Structure formats: structure tokens, C-alpha cells
Structure 1
Amino acid sequence: MRLQHSLLIFSLFFSVQTYLFSQDKEYPEFRNYDYIYKEYIKSVRFYQYDSETDYPILSLQSPGHFILSFDDMEAYTKDFSYKIIHCDANWNPSEELDALDYIDGYQENRFYESQNSFNTKVPYTHYEIQLPNEDVKWTKSGNYLLKVYRDNDERDLIITRRFMIVDTKMKVVPNMRRSATPPYSSSHQELFFSIEHAGIRIGNPGSQIKTAVLQNGRWDNAITDLEPTFIQDEEIGYDMHGKLLFPGYKEFRPLDLRSFRYRTLQVEQLKEYNDGFELWLFEDANRKYTSHVFTHDLNGKFLIESNDDREGKLEGEYAQINFSLKALTPYEGEVYVLGEFNNFRPKPSYKMNYNSDCLCYQLSNTFKNGFYDYFYGVFDHATNELNIQKIEGSSFESENDYLFLVYYKPFGGLYDQLVAVQKLNTRPK
């Protein structure tokens, strides 16, 4: 009896301590876009099973699936869970839908397996799931947000990722032209498009149809909520004349890190230590006033690969990568290294520091064996704007992908359906 009493007291004490700890714990701010909340989480990838460089979009009828993978640099097994949330066209949770309306299975599930890195200087734990799976399937088209969190505590966020499910009912016809609006004719790419909706009666296109146009899959500079410029029986047009514009930028800077055993084209110096690798890249320069040069790139994405007779997922090495950017004087604003690896977000760990001794900006961060695209950008806290053109420049001739998304909510409908997706590539034929 005394033992039972002691166990009860201990259980109550432990519960109170756990509750107090959870009350004192600081939780990150939830963000309804692609974001990595912990610095120890690296190499986050979310892609179609059969195309690692395509965008996270699947057909509602498709037998395909997505893969989410990431590495935990703290290198011990944790209890991670995930949840799928249906969202409207603006990425807010669909208020009129219950999880049972769009989920076949369980809305919240756990990561059942993890794998430790094998024979690497820097240890890590690798996590991976496939969606949909035996536990969860989606039944509606539209926008979805995937949340990954720890210890079954939805507030203790690890990763958020956006993906889209399309049920094709309409057709998008996209086009691009050189802008006639000064001073954008040589630097920007102007788009226009139409929506064909054969057999679907749309009484009020302004409220029933929502659109989004993305450059290289980026939502941070997407153009949304466009108003139609002409309406016909079964066609809606969007020809904004100077308003649907994107900077062409230059081609992305390539970074080949598929080997830490020998120097690739971008690497000036490489050192191997007992506990890791360190690489110094050749110094980069401002490209704002340089001519456009076409190069094959990944339009900002990255791939995890190794040329060192290793399987990248579990045997890929991590190295300390040293960037440098020539600048005779500091820029007005903070300079960041940007790419899909940090979701083009100006995160503190990718902020460069100015060194007056070398007249350059410098950054040191860890990257896994792979091939990366990157840009430099200047962030202005006063305006909350990220300016990539200031360092990279911009050209109408650059090759970019544009995604055209069409959402439809019929009168009396409960959610925004994703009814059309079309990709336009600007590389000259």
C-alpha cells in the first residue's frame, strides 16, 4: 500500500513538473508557409516521388506520392508527429471543413522510423515519410499545409511545408512577352494568361475564381488575387499590361558540393579534419551590371547527392562552407545567402557579416553533399523587403519557371478547389 501511495505521489509530481515545464517553454511563432523552426534541422526536402526537382503538386486522382525527408543534427532519436491541414487559396485553414471532410484516415500521425547516418564524420539522424500512406489520404483538391512537431505537442513546431492537390476542371493558357513599361523592358518578364472553363458556368469570376502566379515555385514573391481584364462565355482573361511582372534576375549561382574529397569548380580550398570538412568558395562578385549568361541551373532548388562512393541520404557528409562576396563598402541593409535550402527567407543563420579587412561579406554554414543553387539578397528591415536585384541584377532573357494556379469556389461551396495548374518555362526554344 505504501508503494502504491509513493508511486501515486511520484506520478502526480511528475505530471505537475511536466505541466510547469510546458508552460515555461517558449514556442516558435507558427507560420503558414515553408519554414524550418529549429537550427538543428537540416536538408529539408519535400518533393514528388518521381521528380525531385518538380513542384509539390499532385493530381487528386494520381497514384503518386510525396517524400518529406530531413536530418536532425542532434543525432538522437526523437518523437516527431505530423498533421495535414486543408487551406483556402490564401493559405488560411478552411474554416468550413472538418478534418473528416478531407482526410481518409488520421489527421495526425507519427514518424515511425528513423535512421542514423552511417560512417560519417558528422553524425545525424535521418527522418523520412511518404504521403499519402496507409495512415492518411486526402479526398479534396486545394491547398494543404503539412506541420511537423515534437513530442505530440503541436506548438513545438519543427517544419511546415505547403503542397497542392489539383482536380483539373479548367485549363490555363499562359504567355510571356517583353514588357513595354519602362524601365522594365530589359529586366522583367511580363506574363498574361486566360482560363478556359468549358461546361462550367461562373456567375461572378471576381469572387468565385482566385489565381496565383509563382516564379520558380516561390510563394514569398507570388502575385495573387488578380482581377480579370476580360470575360467571355467560357473564357476569362488576365492581361494586366505592366502589372503582372517579375524580375527575370540572372541565372542562379551553382554550387557543386557532391564531393568533399576533391575541389569542384566553385571551391578554392578544401580541408579535411578528424571530425569534419571545411571548404572555402571562390569569392563572388556583384552581378548587377554584368551581361546575362545562360547556364543550366535548378531554378533555386537543391539535390542531395554524393560523388564520393556514398549514398547521399545516410552516408552524405556535412561540411562547413565559407562564402565570401566582394563589396568595397557595406550595403544598406543585411546581406543573406538565399535558396530553397532556406526557403528564400532571410534567416539569421544565413546572414553575412561585413569584414573590412577583406572588403567583403562572409558567411560560414553547414551544407550536406549535394548540388545547390543560390542567390545573394539584401534585406531592409525598415520596409521588410528582400532585394535580390541589388546584387544579382536582372535580365529579361533569364530562364525561369512560372506556375499558374486557379482556385474555384462555386456558390454554396465550402472550400477553394484547385482546378487548374499550368507551368510556363521562359527558356527560348
Structure 2
Amino acid sequence: MPRLLPLAALLLATACVPLGTPITDPNAARRPASQQPAPGYYADKTIRYEDYVYNPDVRSVQCYVATGQPTEVFQPPVVPLSQGQPVTLEFDLLGSTSQRFTAKLVHCDANWQPSVLTDMQFLSEINEFLITDYRTGVGTKVPFYHYRLQMPRVKLSGNYLLLVQSQGGVPVLSRRVLVYENQVEVSLRQGIPVAGAERYTMQQVDFAINYGGLNLVNPAQEVKVMLRQNFRWDNAKYNLRPTFVRDADRRLEYQYFNFENAFAAGNEFRFFDLRSLRVMGAGMAQLDPNTSPRSVALTPETTRNGQAYSQYDDINGQRVFENREYGNGATNGDYANVTFQLRAEQQAPGPVYILGALTDWKLKDEFRMSYDPETQQYSAQVLLKQGYYNYTYVVAKPGAVPDGVYFEGSHQETENQYDLLVYYRPPGTRADLLIGYQAIDINSRQR
């Protein structure tokens, strides 16, 4: 599993004290016009085999490995086949009425399409799990119920979609989960982009796969690999083929020269501290405790593109829910209308969005910013739960990965995490197994 930054120390250092039917929207009348969800995003209930939220009242979704450590929420849902530490799913349902939710697992192939396996081929129990662990929010202006579920153990490695449904089988949310077994030896190392200026703005990951203990018939064609940055799916590298096949050594090497395995390094993520709604935390400019929900305006920000790199610890786009005064952000964390402000002398060459784990790494309509030419400023108001957040500003590009460099810049000194997924389907079988997994932290602050 990947190494983590000293996040508990980082968060504690900034704190004063320790840390039914979902189709209808019963709370729509409570929300201001700016918080009314875009109907198109939530209207389509077609199951998507990705991280997705289908109900506008479902918020603050976290899917992680329960390690028992303060930083467990930053562990991506990636577990060995032994599953000694379970994958945990948590989410909130806004409103004063609880709902009956069930969960199921969908086994998927390497391309995240449903496989042809029956439930009993990857599970030892009935594939329907009633979520019975739920509690109401305590002392909050915005009423909600907090739900929690541990994923059941599976018998095969590979890709799984954890799907939560309401009565009638209507999808509520879905999360991707990876279960791996190290049948091959994966080695990762930081490479150097073969170019001029790119070596100062990009990060390259070279890797190799040793398959000495596994009888692979045609490894160059049958082994599939995928490379991710900060556990994101939106900018992952797919269908990478080996550049060298060393049959005598039973080794596949992946060393590219056209940036196939290189990512824009980006910048350390922006952050704000919303763990208190009584006093202003880092990144907050205004706080109105008398509104319902409470209103928070973040400090107006500017572009960082073209500026020198500044080193500080971030949490790689993640967030943690917490209430500074009472702890237990799961049930004590209230919701607030948070206004983001970004100054820009002119409009960007495309729509501007807030991006991070708070958006599921997607360009959601509610996180799209509007531009005011008179004030020369982008702004967006979003309903968020109390916590500590990382985020970034990106520019949408049709048919391409969002441009995070336009406002943030890119520096090879940036700390990022990368992980590699290795898939293989043995001859005569019907399942893509995840036979190797490894992660690396580039420019780690841990020494």
C-alpha cells in the first residue's frame, strides 16, 4: 500500500482542539437557487461503472480502507485478496427522514464493464447487503443521516463496483474497488522525461514487471497495465504496452519516450479549513453563523501559473470531515454554503470548474464557476460538510483531460502519488485478475 504524508500532524497543527425513495428531493425548497442541483446530472439513473452519485441528496461520500489510523480516509479502496482490513463506505443523506438502502457488488473486467461471472463465483454469500449502520446528524442546522457499510469479502482479485440502491433497485451511488494479489513483482521508479522544458513541468514513472513465478503464455499482449496519479481515474494512463520483452529474464519493461507514462506534475493543492463554523479557519474570509445553512466565503484567490513553486504539505486533493468543537465529523459535522472566488483579468479559454475528491474528480455542474467581467472574478457556491479540504481549479477541454495548468502551473518538485495496476486473464477463464499492484510517492516529504 502507498505511503502517506504525516497528515494527522498536519491537521492537528492547524486545530484548536483535537480532532425510501431517493428519486424525489424533499429538501429542494430549503436550498437557495444557487444550490438547486442540475436536473440532467441526477435525472439519468443508468448505472455507470465508475465513481458516481445518482441522488442529489447523497453527499460527502468516502470509500477507503479501514486501517484504524487517523489517516485511514486517505487510503484508496485498494486491498489485497486477504482483505485483512476491510473497505469501508460512508455517506450522508440530506433530510430528516432515513431511507432503506441496500448494497451489492458487480464484478467487472479490466475495462470496467460487467463480467459474465455469477455472484457465487466471486462471493460466498447472497449479493444483497442491507445497510443497517446509520445515525442522525447531531445539533446541525442541515438535517442528515450518516450511513456506513463494510464491503464483504470476495474470492477473486480484480475490479468491483460497490453499488448502493434504494427501494426498487434505483441506484444511489457507486464506487470502484480494487482487490489485488501479487502474483508478479512490480517495480516503480521515477524517470526523467526525454525532452527539454518538459522535465521541469512533468513527472515520469518507469516500471517493470517480473513474472518469473507465473506461467504467462503471451505476456506482451495479455498483460494489461494502468497507471494512475493520486488515485484518480479521470487522467489515468491506459493500454500501456511494454517497450522491452526479456523472455530469458521473464521480465516486461516499460520505458517510453513520447510521454506515454508521464503526467503534468501540477502544483500542491489549494486548501481551506472548514472544521469550525464558529471561528474562521485557514482560507476563510467571511463567516455568517446566522444563516441556515451557514454561509462561508473563501479568501479570493489568483492564478499560480507562472509563479515560483512553493512547498507545503497537502493531502493530494482529498478531504477529511471533522468538527473542531465536538469531534466526530461523521455525525457532528454540519453543512455550509461555501463560496469560492478566483480572480482573473480575462475569461479562461473554457468553462472553469473546482476539482478534487469533493467533486469525485468530475466536472460537476454545481462546481462550475461563473465569471463576472465587472469584478473580473470567477465564483461558485457549493454546499459542503465541515472538514479540511484540498481542491484545484481546472479549465474544461472538449474530449480531453481538464487543464489544471492554466490556473495552477506545473512543477516537477510537486509531491504526487502514483500507482500501477497489472491485469491478466488466464487462458480458459472469464475473469480479469489484478495480479500486481504497487505505489510510489514522488518527492515524498517523509524522510
How far is the alpha carbon of 1:357 from its aligned partner? 2.8
- The structure-2 alpha-carbon separation of the partners of 1:39 and 1:399, relative to structure 1 and needing over 3 Å to count, comes to same
The partner residue of 2:111 within 85, 90, 97 is 90
Determine the structure 1 residue equivalent to 2:81: 60
Matched, 1:350 2:367: yes
Q: Per-residue displacement from partner, 1:108-153 (whole Å, max 9, x unpaired)?
A: 2222242111111111111111112xxxx31100010111121132
* Aligned-residue offset at 1:222: 0.5
What corresponds to 2:119 in structure 1?
99
Out of 349, 362, 365, which is 2:379 matched to?
Answer: 362
Q: 1:391 aligns with which of 376, 400, 407?
A: 407
Q: Which runs of 5+ in 1 are unaligned?
A: 1-24
Aligned equivalents of 1:392 and 1:30: distance in 2?
Answer: 33
SS in 1 for 2:143: coil
The alignment's C-alpha RMSD in Å is 1.6
**Structure 2: distance between partners of 1:302 and 1:245:** 26
Give the TM-score of the pair, scaled to structure 1.
Answer: 0.89
| Structure 1 CA distance for aligned equivalents of residues 362 and 411 of structure 2 | 22
Q: 2:245: which partner in 1?
A: 231
Q: 1:157 aligns with which of 171, 182, 197?
A: 171
Tell me the distance in 2 between the aligned counterparts of 1:207 and 1:94: 20
Aligned to 2:309: 292
CA–CA distance in structure 1, aligned partners of residues 245 and 307 of structure 2: 42
Aligned partner (choices 416, 422, 438) of residue 422 of structure 1: 438
Equivalent-residue separation in structure 1 for 2:324 and 2:356 (angstroms) = 22
Provide TM-score, normalisation by structure 2. 0.86
- The question of whether the paired residues in 2 share the 8 Å contact of 1:252 and 1:299 is answered with yes
Q: CA deviation at 1:384?
A: 4.9
CA deviation string 1:56-80 (max 9, x = no partner): 1111113211111111112311121
Structure 1 runs (4+) deviating above 4 angstroms are none
Q: Is 1:323 aligned to 2:340, yes or no?
A: yes
- 2:151 aligned to 126, 131, 137, which one? 131
Aligned residue identity for 1:121: K
Query: Which residue type is aligned with residue 81 of structure 2?
Result: L
Residue 122 of structure 1: which of 142, 158, 163 is its match?
142
Number of residue equivalences: 397
Report the Cα distance in structure 1 between the residues aligned to 2:376 and 2:427, rounded to whole angstroms.
Answer: 60
Q: 1:258 touches 1:371 (CA, 8 Å); kept in 2?
A: yes
Could you tell me how far apart the structure 2 residues matched to 1:292 and 1:315 are? 37
Task: Tell me which residue corresponds to 1:46.
Answer: 63
Partners of 2:102 and 2:63 in 1: CA distance? 16
Please state how far the C-alpha of 1:385 moved relative to its aligned partner.
4.1
| Partner of residue 255, structure 1 | 272
Percent sequence identity over matched residues? 29
The answer to whether the Cα contact below 8 Å between 1:117 and 1:315 also exists between their aligned partners in 2 is yes
Q: Give the corresponding residue for 1:13.
A: none
CA distance in 1, matches of 2:229, 2:145: 33
Matched, 1:33 2:50: yes
Select the residue among 273, 279, 284 that pairs with 2:296: 279
Could you say what secondary structure the match of 2:366 adopts? helix
8 Å CA contact 2:276, 2:325 repeated in 1: yes
Whether 1:407 and 2:423 are equivalent positions in the alignment is: yes
Q: CA deviation at 1:260?
A: 1.0
The structural deviation recorded for 1:393 is 1.1
- Distance (Å, rounded) in 2 between the aligned partners of 1:385 and 1:227: 21
CA distance in structure 2 between the aligned counterparts of 1:364 and 1:343, rounded to whole angstroms: 17
Please tell me the residue identity of whatever aligns with 2:216: I
Cα pair 1:209 1:408 within 8 Å, conserved: yes
Which stretch has the larger CA shift, 105-114 or 193-202? 105-114
2:208 aligned counterpart, secondary structure? strand
Equivalent position of 1:7 in the other structure = none
Is 1:72 the counterpart of 2:93? The answer is yes
CA distance 1:310–1:61, shift in 2 (3 Å): closer
2:234 aligned partner: 220
When residues 328 and 194 of structure 1 are mapped into structure 2, their CA distance, relative to the original with a 3 A threshold, is same
Letter in 2 for 1:288: N
User: What is the alpha-carbon distance in structure 2 between the residues aligned to residue 345 and residue 159 of structure 1?
Assistant: 14
Q: Distance in 2 between matches of 1:205 and 1:111?
A: 42
Structure 2 equivalent of residue 19 of structure 1: none
- Aligned to 1:270, the other structure's residue is in SS state strand
- How far 1:274 moved relative to its partner? 5.6
- AA aligned opposite 1:151: Q
CA distance in 1 between partners of 2:43 and 2:417 (Å): 39
State the 1:27 CA deviation. 4.1
Q: For structure 2, which runs of at least 5 residues remain unmatched after alignment? A: 1-41
Find the residue that maps to 2:289 and give its secondary structure.
Answer: strand
1:338: how far off? Answer: 0.8
Moved more, 177-186 or 287-296: 177-186
Distance in 1, Cα, partners of 2:254 & 2:277: 49
Matches within 5 A, 1:193-208: 193-208=207-222
Superposition deviation, residue 241 in structure 1: 2.0
Kept after mapping to 2: 8 A contact 1:199/1:234: no
Task: Give the Cα separation in 2 of the matches to 1:171 and 1:82.
Answer: 34
Q: Distance in 1 between matches of 2:96 and 2:304?
A: 39
User: 1:241: which partner in 2?
Assistant: 257
Q: Which has the higher strand share?
A: 1
Cα distance in 1 between the residues matched to 2:365 and 2:292: 25
Instruction: Find the aligned partners of 1:223 and 1:173 in 2 and give their Cα distance.
Output: 17
**Aligned with 1:184: secondary structure?**
helix
Q: Distance in 2 between matches of 1:335 and 1:31?
A: 24
